[in-house]
């Protein structure tokens, strides 16, 4: 038997879980809704759920990973939600003062059929929603984003951090534009 995920180096994890993009799949929305049903059975009723990331943008290629933004009311609620989710087989991947990210669907042999990234945030920290909405209402910009992701995929297939960092200028630009337009 191989190493447990918790025993692997970052480089080993990146090899086991490379970045890859696929055509947009209509069933990604169904996966999101099914997962939210599960989350609602575990988390408080005042939590909000949002499908974010490229799987929530029609017509562009995406990593087949469903990103779910979970909006809560306090830092205490961030910790409570993370603890509940950890106790229900989600893996805490990163923690900062006001944000916790968890994953589900990563196994010792690679990706499961369904993979989820959960992003627990405060109600005033919802930039991903602005970016998603902007791309969905501006298909030309969504296609630019897709072209950027396709170029970066080849360069950073085994380095998620670099892939994400290389997209950040584009994401920040259109997130800020969306915030000005939609507020």
**Domains, the chain:** 5-182 (3.30.460.10)
Residue of 95, 98, 101, 97 whose CA lies nearest to 124: 98
User: Taking CA 24 as the corner, what is the angle to CA 67 and CA 35, rounded to the nearest 5 degrees?
Assistant: 35
Each residue's pLDDT expressed in tens, for the chain with a length of 183 residues = 467 766 767 677 777 788 989 999 999 999 999 999 999 999 999 999 999 999 999 999 999 999 999 999 999 999 999 999 999 999 888 898 899 999 998 888 878 899 999 999 999 999 999 999 999 999 999 999 999 999 999 899 999 889 999 999 999 999 999 999 987
What's the Cα-to-Cα distance from 128 to each of 37, 119, 162, 165, 169, rounded to whole Å?
21, 10, 19, 15, 14
| Confidence at residue 10, expressed as pLDDT on a 0 to 100 scale | 66
The pTM is what? 0.92
Estimate to the nearest angstrom the gap between the alpha carbon of 106 and the chain centroid.
Answer: 14
Bridge partners of 104, per DSSP, are: 116
| Confidence at residue 79, expressed as pLDDT on a 0 to 100 scale | 95
């Amino acid at each position: 038997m191989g190493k447990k995920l918790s025993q692997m180096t970052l480089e080993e994890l990146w090899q086991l879980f490379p970045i890859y993009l696929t055509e947009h799949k209509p069933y990604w929305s169904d996966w999101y809704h099914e997962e939210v049903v599960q989350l609602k059975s575990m988390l408080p009723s005042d939590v909000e759920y949002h499908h974010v990331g490229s799987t929530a943008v029609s017509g562009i290629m995406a990593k087949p990973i469903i990103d779910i933004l979970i909006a809560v009311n306090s830092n205490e609620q961030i910790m409570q939600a993370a603890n509940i989710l950890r106790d229900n087989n989600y893996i805490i991947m990163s923690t900062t003062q006001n944000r916790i990210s968890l994953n589900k669907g990563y196994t010792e042999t690679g990706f499961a059929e369904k993979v989820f990234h959960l992003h627990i945030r405060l109600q005033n920290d919802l930039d991903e929603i602005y970016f998603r909405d902007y791309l969905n209402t501006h298909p030309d910009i969504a296609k630019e984003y897709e072209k950027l992701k396709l170029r970066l995929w080849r360069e950073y297939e085994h380095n998620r951090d670099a892939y994400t960092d290389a997209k950040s200028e584009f994401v920040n630009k259109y997130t800020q534009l969306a915030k000005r337009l939609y507020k």
